[in-house]
């Protein structure tokens, strides 16, 4: 009996296959998990960067359109409504556009445009160079109308339904 027990304990047959299998599973799990986590992080980083880049692009374009409107109405008795076309969502997230006339605000110089996305959290500011005064307004991202309010001689933003 004791001879059998000793033989069983000291028997090393089939151990190699089992250990190899266990190691393979473990290494594969670690490797795949690492790759998935890294890829997920990369996607998240790239999405945030993409949102910030696109906020910048939309902000610069809207600034150019605001300044073009400003050139048309500067020093003149004018009425103007300029409908601008921009993406509703940037990399899958919604955003808002704020026209900020003066401090306090997120910009270094005023007037400016402040674009914000919440998921991922990103914001971009674009300074404006307008002769015409602006009125602080906030609209959802997407198609936006630049309007000249002749009553108070200011430029403002309006959402386009």
Select the residue interacting with other proteins from 47, 120, 136, 139 (CB under 8 A): 47
**From CA 120, how far away is CA 94, in angstroms rounded?**
10
Ramachandran class of 153: left when φ > 0, alpha when ψ lies in -120 to 50, beta otherwise = left
Which H or E element spans position 34? helix 15-73
Instruction: Say if CB 78 and CB 84 are below 8 A apart.
Output: no
Instruction: Identify which of residues 105 and 133 has a Cβ nearer to other proteins in the complex.
Output: 133
Select the residue interacting with other proteins from 6, 20, 29, 102 (CB under 8 A): 29
Size of the site for other proteins (CB under 8 A): 40
Per DSSP, 158 falls in state E
Nearest-approach distance from CB 58 to other proteins, in angstroms: 7
Residues found near other proteins in the complex (CB under 8 A): 21, 24-25, 28-29, 32, 35-36, 39-40, 42-43, 46-47, 50, 53-54, 57-58, 61, 64-65, 68-69, 71-73, 76-85, 87, 90-91
């Amino acid at each position: 009996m004791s001879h059998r027990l000793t033989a069983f304990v000291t028997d090393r047959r089939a151990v190699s296959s089992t250990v190899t299998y266990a190691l393979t599973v473990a290494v594969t799990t670690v490797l795949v998990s690492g790759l998935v986590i890294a890829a997920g992080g990369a996607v998240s980083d790239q999405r945030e960067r993409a949102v910030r880049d696109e906020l910048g692009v939309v902000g610069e374009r809207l600034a150019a359109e605001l300044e073009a409107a400003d050139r048309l109405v500067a020093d003149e008795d004018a009425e103007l409504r300029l409908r601008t076309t921009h993406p509703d969502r940037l990399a899958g997230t919604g955003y808002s556009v704020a026209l900020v006339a003066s401090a306090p605000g997120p910009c270094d110089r005023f007037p400016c445009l402040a674009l914000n996305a919440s998921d991922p959290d990103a914001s971009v500011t674009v300074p404006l160079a307008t002769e015409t005064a602006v009125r602080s307004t906030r609209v959802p991202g997407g198609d936006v109308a630049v309007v000249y309010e002749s009553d108070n001689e200011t430029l403002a933003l309006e959402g386009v339904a």
